[in-house]
Amino acid sequence: MDTRDWMILQILHTEQNITKAAKRLYISQPALTNRLQQIEEEFNVKIVNRGRRGIQFTSQGEYLAKCADEMLLSIQQVKENVLNMEDDVSGTLRLGVSNYFSHYKLPGLLKRFKDKFPEIEYKVTSGWSSEIAPLLPKKEIHIGFVKGDFNWADRKHLLFEETICIASKEKISLNELPQIPKIDFRTEYSLKSIIDHWWSENYSQAPFVSIEVDKVDTCKEMVLNGLGYAIIPSMILKDTEGINKINLKTKDGEPLLRKTWMLYYEESLNLSMVREFVSFIESIDLNNNF
């Protein structure tokens, strides 16, 4: 078994389909099938069962697929440690980034950091914060950028806080919100929870949702076209003209805020590329510079 074999097992287990796995591995389907048979012969077990609906991993196959994840992670860590012994700051920095951060903040940050450390490469995984946070304990990423408060016992750094506001084409009053069409968008549970809590504190009836969309950028365009109001993080509206904003407050009169954090393990700072990147991020005021 070599690195390629472990990768075959990992990708095949993820795809549960030989044709799709072969495409991801850039090999032909017969070549993948042949190599899988060789792995089965090496361990003298059946790894997958084939049927009309694709493949199904046997119990031995499931175990080997789990081992593949562990082996590939171990090999990656060995490579990182070897590169870390050199004077140059190099390697592959694995980042897990919330959707908003990956779209609005990360490109500019990576450009500046790559100018300083051109030998570093990047593997970026984006998604909901609830999907990014679990990647850290699995050691699939070095650093996570997430929105909302997570139960994280290791190192964390507050990047910025953003206000949550009412966005509308025309000026509106908070008193009339329950009667005005609202545009909803699919979002993180943490943000939805903040908004729902604020609403329940201020109104006894549900909002009048007239449009539901899957992306916050689509929601913003709907607001710009006067189709309703939205309750939205204010940074989404940065550099956007033609929208009226009302920053929301808690019952105590404090701004309604959502926090964005950088999470990582203390031990990961032993890698020079992680140490330099963390130091770089901590030196930047993300509210004003980006």
Residue holding tokens 């060995």?
78
At residue 45, the 3 state secondary structure works out as coil
Same domain for 155 and 268: yes
Evaluate whether 280 touches 116 at the Cβ level (below 8 Å). Answer: yes
Range list of β-strands (E), the chain: 48-51, 54-57, 91-98, 120-127, 143-147, 155-168, 182-185, 209-213, 230-233, 244-247, 257-264
Q: Which residues of the chain have pLDDT under 50?
A: none
At residue 17, the 3 state secondary structure works out as coil
DSSP code for 26:
T
Evaluate the CA torsion angle 39, 41, 46, 52 in order and state its sign: positive
**In the prediction, which pLDDT does 289 show?**
52
* Domain boundary, last residue among 82, 109, 134: 82
Residue 44's domain is classified under what CATH number? 1.10.10.10
The amino acid that residue 168 corresponds to is S
DSSP code for 152:
-
**In the prediction, which pLDDT does 89 show?**
74
DSSP H helices, 225-271, are none
Residue 119's domain is classified under what CATH number? 3.40.190.10
**In the prediction, which pLDDT does 201 show?**
93
Evaluate whether 244 touches 171 at the Cβ level (below 8 Å). Answer: yes
Q: Which residues contact 185 (CB under 8 A, 6 or more apart)?
A: 212, 213, 214, 215, 216, 218, 219, 230, 232
* Domain boundary, last residue among 51, 82, 113: 82
- Tokens coding 101: 């951060």
**In the prediction, which pLDDT does 101 show?**
87
Compute the distance between CA of residue 195 and CA of residue 248 in angstroms, rounded to an integer.
10
Instruction: Report the run of H or E that residue 286 belongs to, with start and end.
Output: helix 286-289
Same domain for 169 and 153: no
Number of domains in the chain: 3
Compute the distance between CA of residue 32 and CA of residue 217 in angstroms, rounded to an integer.
41
Same domain for 176 and 254: yes
| Segment 68-107, tens digit of pLDDT | 888 888 887 777 777 666 667 778 899 999 988 888 889 9
Bridge partners (DSSP) listed for residue 244? 168
Tell me whether strands 48-51 and 91-98 are parallel, antiparallel or unpaired.
unpaired
Tell me whether strands 54-57 and 48-51 are parallel, antiparallel or unpaired.
antiparallel
At residue 141, the 3 state secondary structure works out as coil
**In the prediction, which pLDDT does 81 show?**
72
Same domain for 149 and 268: yes
| Segment 105-154, tens digit of pLDDT | 899 999 999 999 998 999 999 999 999 999 999 889 999 999 988 889 99
* Domain boundary, last residue among 37, 64, 82: 82
Same domain for 191 and 53: no
Same domain for 109 and 23: no
How buried is 263 (Cβ within 10 angstroms: 0-12 exposed, 13-18 middle, 19+ buried)? Answer: buried
DSSP code for 265:
-
Q: Which residues contact 281 (CB under 8 A, 6 or more apart)?
A: 109, 157, 159, 262
Same domain for 39 and 96: no
**In the prediction, which pLDDT does 3 show?**
87
Same domain for 115 and 70: no
Same domain for 146 and 25: no
Same domain for 166 and 120: no
DSSP code for 76:
H
Same domain for 151 and 229: no
| Domain containing residue 238 | 162-258
**In the prediction, which pLDDT does 196 show?**
94
Helices (runs of H) and strands (runs of E) counted in the chain? 11, 11
Evaluate the CA torsion angle 22, 27, 31, 35 in order and state its sign: negative
- Tokens coding 172: 């509106």
Same domain for 75 and 23: yes
